[in-house]
């Protein structure tokens, strides 16, 4: 089993946390990690002082195929309406059977 | 004499305007709003424990109706006059149909500062007015569709943090009654005005940050955010007096109808009507209507209530 | 009449059960527990300042002994009846040998709500009961090994946050004495019940989340989490009366023995006995025993104490 | 009798020394300092509302002067005796020219604990002493350059969190006046000493962590951090008596001059004089001078004031 | 438009947040993300208990050229005086026109 | 001195923070960064409401050899008993002599 996986990083509105995490699980990811962040992008300043303007960063480690599925789902369902960026990078995992 | 809680709001506003690095950590903002919401809920609940619930039912019915009617009236106005797209009109209408707990607390402080009497069960109306407008707003935005995710939507509406804390506080106050809550009063009741002051400091910081969005969205919003509250306040005061509230009580009800939500509704709309632009509704409710009501609206509504009482 | 702090617990529990997004930020949870622990410690310390320490020594000795004995008794039960592996049995036993500060605070609130007298130095027992069970638990899990990292372990035991705050509060109360602490009373003493209410709200939220683990670990844990506390309470009440405590004091001691730790012990065990499954002990102590004690246990233990007093 | 707030400081110090995992979350530290700063500001403001501002102007002038003079005196001392480079000398001098709000609060608590009278407008001096030393420090470090980013620098000085909260509180207290603030007193005034206790607990934790830097920076800093405050206190007491303050008031002014900033100045220096080593100034102000003043300095300064009063 | 971008990660003193974010925008980045972190490095323990000892992690997704400019600016202006590390890694972004 | 280093990312239980950071230093890393995170994985939901269920993410930049040593140590000592995932990715660092 290959230890080369993909890390997907999603930075988006905090209000989406529950919904996205559920969806990521449903699509087959074995886990995810969420960080409270703040930032600025096309939709303006999201300083995170209160829930409405708070961002989260979601990280998912998974295989290349699932990475495709997840990013595609995000692109289709959330990109138009929400502040969101998504990027991927290759990572080498320990215990690759965990993912 | 100017109420110091108003000064805290202005202080926050100025600090943010001058780009001070003053910040209230998000966790503290959460604590402050948890305390405010529970306490307001509890105050309502304690009153319910004092008088037979049945005697309040007619008033509650009227208030619920207000919550349904306001967004139905505002949404077409926003579409026609404001040229907003369907979802945006519906979302803004929902914000104004619902209420701002912070504004309510300032209104109550105004009553007490000026020794104006008001009905102690008014907090119950806050709870009642939170929800109907959200439902109407979603229906206006989406129409009634066969495949609507009602499970998800009603979850957002009834189990959002704001609503849960108000209802939880109400239930606790109701069950425990006036005597039961004696021991928790020092935290929830005695500190209330101080907590409100800190909360308004943060609101001032946040409000000032909304201003930058104003220029992008033209001045229709400014007019809307000032004129509509005044009109709704007149309506609310009139209904309040008609249903037998004192001048103080009618003023508070008017303030509630004049106020626009910035906690429960934005979250629910963001999830349920994603294509509505949240900046529009927040700029109006938080950037214009909130400071207007808090700084100049409430005393005006009180004068209106006195006039209408005749 | 139901104590409102219990209502806060139930409120949190229900909010979490219905998957509301209500959350107490971790920083606020930390603040609440810091305040609770320091205050309970200080209350004990102030009493130590009032009476000669030597006169309490016999009672303290007995209480320490209880802390050593309980895990020694429970661990074999868990291995034989529960079929738990050595480390898990030791860890669960340590949780039940130690105490829950939240449960203690609820017991004190119960006494005051019902005007039942109790010895003011009871908080000292909380401090005494925190630690012995942890030591015993680690020894039971690992046996006495030559190469044991005692430095690391005793660091975990004595310098964990919970223990440090209790002991720090105790020392401050003891040195400052009843008069010394007058000026800090508004924060630490007057707000205490309100702080406890918020703390129990959070405990309700957390408790409900433990329930999902229940189905994975069979119903032995449920039985254990209810029956064992009752038995330990009976023992605790009996010892309490035997060593001369009032009915109220014996009830509180019974509640302490009946309660299981969910702050100090889990952290210490996680570091010192990594192979013990933390879900097992937390599900039992937090998911079952804590709500049982708080909701129904304490009044029962009081009846038991009255009966045994004769 | 030892003040319990001092015990909280010692408690935090010891907990950190023994490497306990006790931590105050950053958000809570922020809340505590926000409350302290606003309250001290408000106390000053309320006094300004009571007496004609003009009558205080001479005293305020003198105090501002002190703030400009101290760093001018200290900086050459640090360069010559301490062999510090220009920027470091300037930065340390700025820290000692400005004031520590925590130390001020402890001094006030000392006065009240020992029923020593002091002028109620002293908090105004805290606000006045915050700023001048920062300006002087920056000029000393950089010289007066043509291309100085004064916009950025004055932003750092006047709009840093500490200064903004003090000035905001001052303004609120001044405008609202003694009666206006009645309703927010429970949070800001009644809880003040308790909040200060928690703040000192955190300061204890932080102070102990500074100690490790001590060995790296030799013992000049230790000497400087103890001797200089005593000398500055003598100067401050003398000026205070000369300008007509009571013994208590002069003691507090002496304590202010003896204290060194660890909130406003470090942030401003870090941005405006990047090449100054922040560890040097913080080790001295927080690791040595703060505990020295709080634990032994204040009573000594009081004795000095009594002696000088004659 | 290529979807291959660079992710710059900057870990430095919290006191620099406003200044760095402003500079990053001025240099042409379309956005940035900020996280509160703590850590240890050459300048010692930065445990983040209070502002003076707090760290932030700034993440910027941008093209390779801008990445050069930003890292160079950081190196020139901040490396000597502040606790700071900077590293880059290639990432594949969704909607590359956003960056 | 090469500027190509490895970034190790460890996501695990918050209770391990002190112990792991100490070990990472002992093994020779020049520093580390810690972030408070929450997440879900094989050991279930770790929502971070309170210490027991809180996660941390530790990031270490180091050379390839040390990365081997660190990941190996983690694998041997913690993988069995703790909620933990570990992954590595190559990064280009500024001032490579810092690591
Ligand atoms: N170029 C970027 N680099 C890093 N983070 C970004 C970038 N652009 C956007 N973000 C983050 O993604 C969030 C949403 O971006 P946007 O949809 O462009 O408003 C922002 O609030 C930032 O936290
Ligand atoms: N080798 C490293 N790996 C990960 N983070 C580091 C490393 N070295 C330094 N850091 C982070 O960067 C900050 C500043 O580093 P320094 O300038 O070396 O003191 C530290 O406080 C850490 O948060
Ligand atoms: N596939 C994944 N992607 C991202 N983070 C993960 C993943 N699996 C686990 N995690 C994180 O690692 C922690 C421990 O994982 P585990 O040991 O699988 O329970 C989880 O609580 C998550 O924060
Ligand atoms: Na309204
Ligand atoms: Na027990
Ligand atoms: Na000074």
pLDDT in tens, F21-44: 999 999 999 999 999 999 999 988
Taking 3-state DSSP, the helix, strand and coil percentages for chain E, each rounded to the nearest 5, stand at 35, 40, 25
pLDDT digits (tens, 9 = 90+) for D124-140: 999 899 889 999 999 99
Read off the pLDDT band of D158 (50, 70, 90): confident
Cβ atoms of residues C137 and C97 within 8 Å? yes
Give the pTM. 0.95
For residues C132 and C163, what is the distance between their CA atoms, to the nearest angstrom?
12
Which two three-digit tokens encode residue B83? 């040229």
Other CB atoms within 10 Å distance of the CB of residue F64: 12
DSSP string, C116-156: ----TTHHHHHHHHHSHHHHHHHHHHH-S-TT--HHHHHHH
Any idea what the CATH number is for the domain that residue A80 is in?
A: 3.30.70.120
pLDDT at residue C35, as a whole number: 97
pLDDT at residue B146, as a whole number: 65
pLDDT at residue F77, as a whole number: 94
Q: To the nearest whole percent, how much of chain E has pLDDT over 70?
A: 98
DSSP annotation of B51:
S
Cβ atoms of residues C200 and C102 within 8 Å? yes
Which two three-digit tokens encode residue A43? 């939709």
Radius of gyration of chain D (CA): 18
Q: Which of residues 15-34 of C touch D (CB under 8 A)?
A: 25-28, 30-31, 34
**pLDDT exceeds cutoff 80 at E64:** yes
For residues B8 and D184, what is the distance between their CA atoms, to the nearest angstrom?
11
- CA atoms in the 13 A half-sphere facing the CB of C43: 20
The ligand 3 site (C-beta within 6 Å) comprises: A 29-33, 59-62, 98-99; F 11, 39-43, 46, 55, 83-85
Instruction: Return the residue whose CA atom lies nearest to atom 23 of ligand 1.
Output: A39
**pLDDT exceeds cutoff 70 at C1:** no
pLDDT digits (tens, 9 = 90+) for B203-223: 999 999 888 777 777 778 999
Residues 6+ apart with CB under 8 A from D80: none
The residue behind tokens 């291995």 is: C79
Cβ atoms of residues F99 and F5 within 8 Å? yes
Cβ atoms of residues D11 and C179 within 8 Å? no
Cβ atoms of residues D25 and C30 within 8 Å? yes
Is residue E44, in this structure, part of any structural domain at all? yes
Cβ atoms of residues C44 and C123 within 8 Å? yes
Q: Which of F40, F47, F56, F75 to mutate to test the pocket of ligand 3 (most atoms within 8 A of CB)?
A: F40
Mean pLDDT to the nearest integer, F77-82: 94
Question: Closest residue of F to E90, CA-based?
Answer: F91
Q: Which among F19, F45, F49 is the nearest to C29, CB-wise?
A: F49
For residues D266 and D263, what is the distance between their CA atoms, to the nearest angstrom?
6
Other CB atoms within 10 Å distance of the CB of residue C44: 25
Asked whether E and C share 3 or more beta-carbon pairs under 8 angstroms, the answer is no
How far does the CA of residue B68 sit from the closest CA of chain A (Å)? 24
Which stretches of E16-95 are DSSP H helices?
Answer: 17-26, 64-77
Q: Which among B29, B274, B275 is the nearest to A50, CB-wise?
A: B29
Q: Which domains does chain C have, with CATH numbers?
A: 4-15+24-309 (1.20.1530.20)
Q: Which among F15, F48, F82 is the nearest to C26, CB-wise?
A: F48
pLDDT at residue E1, as a whole number: 52
pLDDT at residue A1, as a whole number: 52
pLDDT at residue D154, as a whole number: 83
- Mean pLDDT over all residues of chain D? 92
pLDDT at residue B293, as a whole number: 97
pLDDT at residue C150, as a whole number: 78
Is residue E98, in this structure, part of any structural domain at all? no
**pLDDT exceeds cutoff 90 at C64:** yes
Other CB atoms within 10 Å distance of the CB of residue B44: 25
Residues 6+ apart with CB under 8 A from D213: D279, D282, D283, D287, E44
Which residues lie across from E60 on neighbouring strands? Answer: E8
DSSP string, C100-119: -HHHHHHHHHHHHHTT----
Q: What is the ipTM score, two decimals? A: 0.95
Is residue E97, in this structure, part of any structural domain at all? no
- Best probe of the E interface among D23, D26, D149, by most E CBs < 10 A, is D26
Helix H or strand E encompassing E12: strand E4-13
For residues B217 and B88, what is the distance between their CA atoms, to the nearest angstrom?
12
For residues C118 and B154, what is the distance between their CA atoms, to the nearest angstrom?
48
> B221 C-alpha vs ligand 4 centroid, how far in Å?
16
Mean pLDDT to the nearest integer, B29-57: 93
Residues 6+ apart with CB under 8 A from E69: E27, E28
Mean pLDDT to the nearest integer, C221-232: 95
Q: To the nearest whole percent, how much of chain B has pLDDT over 70?
A: 99
Cβ atoms of residues B266 and B289 within 8 Å? no
pLDDT at residue D219, as a whole number: 79
For residues D93 and D86, what is the distance between their CA atoms, to the nearest angstrom?
11
Mean pLDDT to the nearest integer, B105-131: 94
pLDDT digits (tens, 9 = 90+) for D67-121: 999 999 999 999 999 899 999 999 999 999 999 999 999 999 999 999 999 999 9
pLDDT digits (tens, 9 = 90+) for A35-51: 999 999 998 889 877 77
Cβ atoms of residues B188 and C20 within 8 Å? no
Give the distance, in angstroms, between the CA of residue F14 and the centroid of all CA atoms in the same chain.
12
The three-class DSSP label of residue B197 is helix
Read off the pLDDT band of B1 (50, 70, 90): low
Question: Closest residue of B to A37, CA-based?
Answer: B26
Report which of D236, D267, D289 is spatially closest to residue D102, judged by C-alpha positions. D289
Cβ atoms of residues F57 and E35 within 8 Å? no
Question: Closest residue of D to E38, CA-based?
Answer: D26
Q: Encode burial over C106-127: b for 16+ CB neighbours within 10 A, e otherwise.
A: bbbbbbebeebebbebbbbbbb
Mean pLDDT to the nearest integer, D168-188: 95
pLDDT at residue D146, as a whole number: 64
Cβ atoms of residues B47 and B235 within 8 Å? no
Q: Which among E5, E34, E89 is the nearest to A37, CB-wise?
A: E34
pLDDT digits (tens, 9 = 90+) for B260-270: 998 889 988 99
> F37 C-alpha vs ligand 3 centroid, how far in Å?
11
Where is pLDDT greater, at D296 or E1?
D296
Torsion angle of alpha carbons C9, C13, C19, C23, nearest 10°?
30
pLDDT digits (tens, 9 = 90+) for C243-281: 999 999 999 999 999 999 988 899 889 988 999 999 899
**pLDDT exceeds cutoff 80 at E67:** yes
For residues C19 and C209, what is the distance between their CA atoms, to the nearest angstrom?
10
Could you give phi then psi for residue E50, rounded to 5 degrees?
-140, 165
In chain A, the number of structural domains is: 1
Q: How many residues does chain A have?
A: 99
Q: Which among A21, A34, A92 is the nearest to F87, CB-wise?
A: A92
Is residue F39, in this structure, part of any structural domain at all? yes
Question: Closest residue of F to E7, CA-based?
Answer: F91
Read off the pLDDT band of D42 (50, 70, 90): very high
- Angle at CA E71, nearest 5°, toward E70 and E74? 90
pLDDT digits (tens, 9 = 90+) for B136-153: 999 999 887 767 777 877
Asked whether C and D share 3 or more beta-carbon pairs under 8 angstroms, the answer is yes
Is residue A77, in this structure, part of any structural domain at all? yes
**pLDDT exceeds cutoff 90 at C219:** no
Helix H or strand E encompassing A49: none
Stretch among A84-88, B117-121, D218-222 having the lowest mean pLDDT:
D218-222
pLDDT digits (tens, 9 = 90+) for B168-204: 999 999 999 999 999 999 999 999 999 999 999 999 9
Cβ atoms of residues F33 and F51 within 8 Å? no
Q: Which atom of ligand 2 is nearest to the CA of F59?
A: 4
For residues A10 and A89, what is the distance between their CA atoms, to the nearest angstrom?
12
Q: Do E40 and F61 touch (CB under 8 A)?
A: no
Range of the domain at F34: 3-92
Torsion angle of alpha carbons B161, B163, B165, B166, nearest 10°?
160
Helices (H) and strands (E) in chain E, counts: 2, 5
pLDDT digits (tens, 9 = 90+) for C96-122: 999 999 999 999 999 999 999 999 999
Report which of D249, D255, D257 is spatially closest to residue D309, judged by C-alpha positions. D249
CA-to-CA dists, residue C306 to C249, C256, D157, angstroms: 11, 17, 66
**pLDDT exceeds cutoff 60 at F12:** yes
Which residues lie across from A59 on neighbouring strands? Answer: A9, A33
Instruction: Return the residue whose CA atom lies nearest to atom 9 of ligand 2.
Output: E41
For residues B253 and C288, what is the distance between their CA atoms, to the nearest angstrom?
45
Which stretches of C143-219 are DSSP H helices?
Answer: 150-159, 161-180, 185, 192-214
CA-to-CA dists, residue D306 to C137, D231, D241, D246, D249, angstroms: 59, 16, 10, 10, 11
The residue behind tokens 């669960």 is: C92
The ligand 2 site (C-beta within 6 Å) comprises: E 11, 39-43, 46, 55, 83-85; F 29-33, 59-62, 98-99
For residues B180 and B172, what is the distance between their CA atoms, to the nearest angstrom?
9
> F41 C-alpha vs ligand 3 centroid, how far in Å?
4
Instruction: Return the residue whose CA atom lies nearest to atom 16 of ligand 2.
Output: E41
Cβ atoms of residues C202 and C29 within 8 Å? yes
Residues 6+ apart with CB under 8 A from C83: none
Is residue F99, in this structure, part of any structural domain at all? no
pLDDT at residue E41, as a whole number: 95
Report which of A8, A89, A85 is spatially closest to residue E92, judged by C-alpha positions. A89
Please check whether residue F34 touches E, CB under 8 A. Answer: yes
Phi-psi region of D99 (alpha: psi -120 to 50; beta: other; left: phi over 0): beta
**pLDDT exceeds cutoff 90 at A26:** yes
Question: Closest residue of E to F34, CA-based?
Answer: E38
Q: To the nearest whole percent, how much of chain D has pLDDT over 70?
A: 99
Q: Do C188 and D194 touch (CB under 8 A)?
A: yes
**pLDDT exceeds cutoff 80 at D187:** yes
How far does the CA of residue D149 sit from the closest CA of chain E (Å)? 13
Read off the pLDDT band of C152 (50, 70, 90): confident
CB neighbour class for D29 (10 Å; exposed up to 12, middle 13-18, buried from 19):
buried
How far does the CA of residue D303 sit from the closest CA of chain B (Å)? 38
Is residue F44, in this structure, part of any structural domain at all? yes
CB pairs under 8 A between E and F: 57
Other CB atoms within 10 Å distance of the CB of residue B219: 9
Report which of D1, D7, D17, D2 is spatially closest to residue D198, judged by C-alpha positions. D7
Is residue F48, in this structure, part of any structural domain at all? yes
For residues D223 and D221, what is the distance between their CA atoms, to the nearest angstrom?
5
Give the distance, in angstroms, between the CA of residue D114 and the centroid of all CA atoms in the same chain.
21
């Amino acid at each position: 089993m290959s230890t080369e996986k993909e890390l997907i990083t999603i930075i988006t509105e905090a209000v989406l946390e529950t919904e996205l995490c559920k969806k990521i699980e449903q699509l087959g990811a074995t886990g995810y990690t969420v960080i409270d962040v703040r930032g600025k992008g096309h939709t303006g300043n999201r300083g995170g002082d209160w829930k409405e303007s708070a961002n989260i960063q979601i990280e998912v480690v998974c295989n290349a195929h699932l990475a495709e599925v997840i990013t595609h789902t995000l692109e289709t369902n959330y990109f138009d309406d929400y502040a969101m960026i998504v990027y991927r990078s290759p990572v080498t995992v320990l215990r690759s059977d965990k993912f | 004499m100017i109420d110091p809680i108003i000064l805290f709001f202005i202080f926050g506003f100025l600090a943010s305007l001058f780009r001070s690095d003053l910040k209230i950590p998000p966790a503290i903002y959460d604590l402050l709003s948890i305390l405010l919401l529970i306490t307001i809920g509890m105050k309502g609940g304690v009153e319910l424990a004092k008088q037979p619930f049945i005697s309040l039912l007619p008033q509650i019915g009227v208030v619920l109706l207000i919550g349904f009617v306001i967004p139905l009236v505002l949404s077409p106005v926003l579409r026609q006059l404001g040229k907003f797209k369907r979802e945006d009109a519906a979302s803004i209408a929902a914000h104004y149909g619902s209420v701002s707990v912070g504004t309510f607390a300032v209104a109550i402080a105004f009553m007490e500062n000026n020794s104006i009497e008001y009905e102690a069960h008014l907090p119950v109306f806050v709870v009642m007015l939170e929800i109907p407008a959200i439902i109407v707003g979603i229906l206006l935005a989406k129409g009634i569709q066969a495949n609507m995710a009602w499970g998800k939507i009603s979850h957002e509406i009834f189990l959002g943090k704001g609503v849960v804390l108000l209802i939880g506080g109400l239930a606790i106050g109701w069950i425990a009654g006036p005597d039961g809550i004696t021991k928790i009063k020092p935290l929830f009741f005695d500190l209330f005005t101080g907590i409100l002051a800190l909360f308004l400091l943060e609101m001032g910081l946040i409000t000032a940050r909304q201003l930058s969005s104003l220029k992008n969205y033209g001045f229709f919003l400014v007019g809307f955010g000032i004129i509509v509250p005044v009109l709704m306040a007149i309506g609310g005061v009139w209904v309040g007096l008609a249903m037998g509230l004192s001048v103080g009580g009618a003023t508070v009800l008017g303030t509630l109808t004049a106020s626009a939500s910035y906690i429960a509704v934005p979250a629910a709309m963001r999830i349920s009507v994603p294509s509505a632009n949240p900046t529009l509704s927040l700029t109006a409710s938080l950037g214009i209507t909130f400071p207007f009501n808090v700084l100049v609206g409430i005393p005006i509504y009180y004068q209106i209530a006195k006039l209408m009482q005749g």
